[in-house]
Amino acid sequence: MKLKLTAIPEELKDRPQWVTWKAVERDGKPTKIPLDPKTGGPGKSNDPATWGTFDQALSHYQAHQGNGIAGIGFVFSPDDPFTGVDLDHALVDGSPRLCARLLLRHLGTYSEVSPSGKGAHVILKGKLPAGGNRKQISCGLGIELYDRGRFFTVTGHHLPGAPTTVEDRQAEIEALHRQIFFAHRWISGLKAPGLALPLPWTFQTESLSKRRLRPGTVRNFPDCGRGTGRALAILRNPRVTSAWP
């Protein structure tokens, strides 16, 4: 995927937290590994000495893209205000699936297409709550959340309809985290301690939804289906289903 420079937010470019990356195979699976853009040596997501400026990463990529360097990446650090949300299986023919559309609409911040063309990377301002950062949602999306110790590949292929800027979304990332990792508490009528109201929607399997939720609150969206369970989007606010963007 060709790198697009103009859409990458300036506040990310301004930070010296950039690497280049290449794809390697580990245990039979493709893996993206970071490289120090200053030296071309190994990069580490927890070692700022192996990061560089945006210009250094861009120069290294442009000089070596024919030698296995596949792109540039931004490293998340405890010293920055950013969190990244990685959505796998989010796009079909370049457009967000409904499951992904709901998440993108809720987060409302800079989002772009991942190098595979099938995923989405979302970057916001906010700190990730404790209690989990990776899960396969029943609608078929894979979601990972990071605010340190990882890097995101950056393509600059902005998702139309999403903001072009990195927005402050602390409340939204807390609500998303709560819904994904503590949804069982809400479904059983128990509130997670010290947390505010849940999102206006959640994703559950058909059997669980029919057993625990009031009739009339469930809509079935077959386009979200994947695997053995039929995906259901449970919407308490029908406005979130409007067309993307």
More confident residue, 199 or 23: 23
Is 198 or 174 the better-scoring residue by pLDDT? 174
User: Residue 32 — pLDDT band, cuts 50, 70, 90?
Assistant: very high
Whether residue 223 is predicted with pLDDT greater than 70 in this model: the reply is: no
Q: How confident is the model at residue 166, as a pLDDT?
A: 98
DSSP letters of the chain?
-----TTS-HHHHTSS-EEEEEEEEETTEEEEEEE-TTTSSB--TT-GGG-B-HHHHHHHHHHHGGGT--EEEEE--TTSSEEEEEEET-EETTEE-HHHHHHHHHH-S-EEE-TTSS-EEEEEESPPPSS--EEE-TTS-EEEEESSS-EEEE---BPTTS-SS--B-HHHHHHHHHHHHSHHHHHTT-PPTT-----SEEEEEHHHHHHHS-TTSEEE-GGG--SSSPEEEEES-GGGGSPP-
Query: Residue range 79-95: average pLDDT?
Result: 95
Span 45-58, mean pLDDT?
98
Would you please indicate which residues are annotated as catalytic (active-site) residues?
86, 88, 121, 144
Question: What was the pLDDT predicted at 137?
Answer: 85
- Provide the pLDDT for residue 6: 96
Percent over 90 (pLDDT), the chain? 63
Is the model more confident about 3 or about 99? Answer: 3
Average pLDDT score, the chain: 80
What is the reported pLDDT for 215?
A: 38
pLDDT of residue 25: 87
The pLDDT tens digits for 4-29 are: 999 999 999 999 999 999 999 888 88
Query: What pTM was estimated for this model as a whole?
Result: 0.79
What pLDDT, on a 0 to 100 scale, did the predictor assign at position 202? 52
| pLDDT classification of 184: cutoffs 50, 70, 90 | low
- Does 60 score more than 70 pLDDT? yes
98-151 residue pLDDT tens:
989 999 999 999 999 999 999 999 999 999 999 889 999 888 899 999 999 999
Q: Tell me: the pLDDT tens digits for 62-72?
A: 999 988 999 99
Provide the pLDDT for residue 197.
Answer: 38
